Amino acid sequence: MYEGSMAMTSAEPTPTPPAPPVPLTALLARRDLGLRLLAGPEDVPIHWVHTSEMADPYPYLLGGELLMTAGVLLADPAHYVARVVEAGAAALAFGVTPVYDTVPAELVEACARHGLPLVEVPPRTPFTAVARALWRLMAEARLHELRRVTEAQQSLAAAAARPAPVPAVLGALASRLGGRAALFAADGTESAAAGREVPAEAARALRDLVGVLGPRPGGPASASGDGGGLRLAAYALGGGDGLTLGVATERRGPGDHTVAGVAVVLLSLLTAPHRGAEAAVRDGALVRLLLGAAPPEIAETLGAGPWTVVHAAGGDGTPFAAASLAAALGTPLVDAGEAGGGTGRADAVEAGGGRRDGTPVTVRLLLPASTPVTEQPGWTLGVAAPAAADELAAADAQAARALRRAEAVRAPLVRHRPGGLAALVDPDEAAAHARALLGPLTEPLGETLRTWLSLHGSWDRTAVALEVHRNTVRQRIARCAALLGRDLDDPDVRMELWFALGSR
């Protein structure tokens, strides 16, 4: 009835890009392109464009693309189409002239037989024009989706500030997703709901899906499936009392998971057990942050601090795994979300990042400076220096930089180090990175590279300094580039290598 629930490990990344696909009908509707559908359906989604004149393009296709060809090596149309379909291409575009005056009839028949959309590209339309049109349509679709998610976040945040916040959040979520949103207790009973009624079969399927999560420690944080003709999803709340959010909709859009994530974090906060007056005051800061208040504006509410901002990347590919990270660090307050918009908790500095394709999410936490931050299994942490409440923006940037360094050197935790550029990198981590980066270089290659970089890439001056011929310098530097797999004409590469040589 329902698909396998989301496991507590990251799913393998999909080959499709994060931008929403564009329906083939959108390209066909562009009069300036003059495209004409000759066979197959017109409502297939297109993820990208690929041009190939290979006799067998199968090894070069990832699936979901509009394959464009002029048929330069088209010998067997039936075999060609079969291989294109096997590779998972979404559609085939055939350019007439200079090889063919018309689209071969055998190609049209093969595409019709396999159900592969075949599009004729007129001589006046270059393939690059079709690709450019697709990228523009994808950018427009992505912008539309980001606006939709942003508006939904604002609506949910405003609902959380109303006198009866839980029903208001459920109502806002149901309205935004165009379906039904329900809150289920630990025993599986529906405690609150909003939106339109669903068929009995769908209601039973949703309860079954909610039961997949349950109150089990370490269980999956979310699950999805189908039932009664509707798309279903369930999300465990982070309040520790076994509550689960269930959602039933007619369709599932690209940003629906993000919107539901906002509601999950808000409902987790709103339904959490009473934690005293101080926690209630800090929870009040949540709503102000979600409604756009800057950190300095809520400094008095949070208290002077000092505070520690932590950025973390990892988890199981869902923003809800962040609750276990927060608990491990001794705080129930966490922020997690997707790129282009996020969700928030009371101690969030701003929205976090992440993707819905199973890759790790990014979360932000704000902890009292007295709380020790240690390595956490499955997470990479960047930790800022202690900061006052009115300095949270700067601390947030520090934590982001520390996380990037941690990911670059594959360290589980990196702390911000004040000082100059050299102080931003831990000496031991820099040495380890240098050894890994420069490992392929043996002497005299390493010394030649160091001297050449110190003399700003001058062949003659390096040759004089090393007492060798300038052609020897050129050969050694070319060998360094080949062994390192780097472009030594790139100033960023030169800078990285210079610091690595110094650290080594």
> DSSP string of 333-393?
--EEEETTEE---TT-SS-----SSSPPEEEEEEEETTS-----TTEEEEEPPPB-GGGHH
Q: 301 with 212, same domain?
A: no
419 and 434 belong to one structural domain: no
Together in a domain, 204 and 315: no
**318 with 223, same domain?**
no
User: Is 157 part of a structural domain of the chain?
Assistant: no
124-138, 290-304, 412-426, 444-458: least confident range: 290-304
pLDDT reported for residue 16: 43
Q: Count Cα neighbours of 10 within 13 Å in the Cβ-side half-sphere.
A: 18
CB 64 within 8 Å of CB 39: no
The answer to which of 163-177, 364-378, 481-495 has the lowest mean pLDDT is 364-378
In the chain, the number of structural domains is: 4
**Residue 449 belongs to some domain of the structure:** yes
Which H or E element spans position 247? Answer: strand 244-249
Q: Does some domain include residue 150?
A: no
Q: Which range in 11-20, 299-308, 408-417 is most confidently predicted, on average pLDDT?
A: 408-417
Given this model, what pLDDT does residue 35 score? 96
Asked whether residue 296 is assigned to any structural domain, the reply reads yes
Instruction: Choose one of 270, 304, 328: the last residue of a domain.
Output: 270
Would 310 be classed as within a structural domain? Answer: yes
**Pair 168, 234 in one domain:** yes
Residue 370 lies in a domain: yes
Q: Which residues are within 8 A (CB) of 318 and not within 5 positions of it... i.e. 6 or more apart?
A: 6, 221, 222, 261, 361
Per the CB < 8 A criterion, the answer to whether 183 and 166 are in contact is yes
115 and 41 inside one domain: yes
Are 51 and 69 within 8 A, CB to CB? yes
User: Over the stretch 98-128, which tens digit does the pLDDT of each residue have?
Assistant: 899 999 999 999 999 999 999 999 999 999 9
Residues 188 and 116 in one domain: no
Same domain, 370 and 431: no
Query: Contact, 399 vs 364, CB < 8 A?
Result: yes
The residue segments making up the domain with residue 42 are 22-134
| 324 domain residue, yes or no | yes
Q: List the CATH number of the domain containing 465.
A: 1.10.10.2840
| CATH number of domain containing 70 | 3.40.1390.20
Residue whose C-alpha is closest to residue 436's, from 402, 408, 404, 406 = 408
Q: pLDDT, tens digit, for every residue of 384-411?
A: 888 887 777 788 888 888 888 888 778 8
pLDDT, mean of residues 278-286: 51
Query: 297 and 419, same structural domain?
Result: yes
Q: Within a domain: residue 403?
A: yes
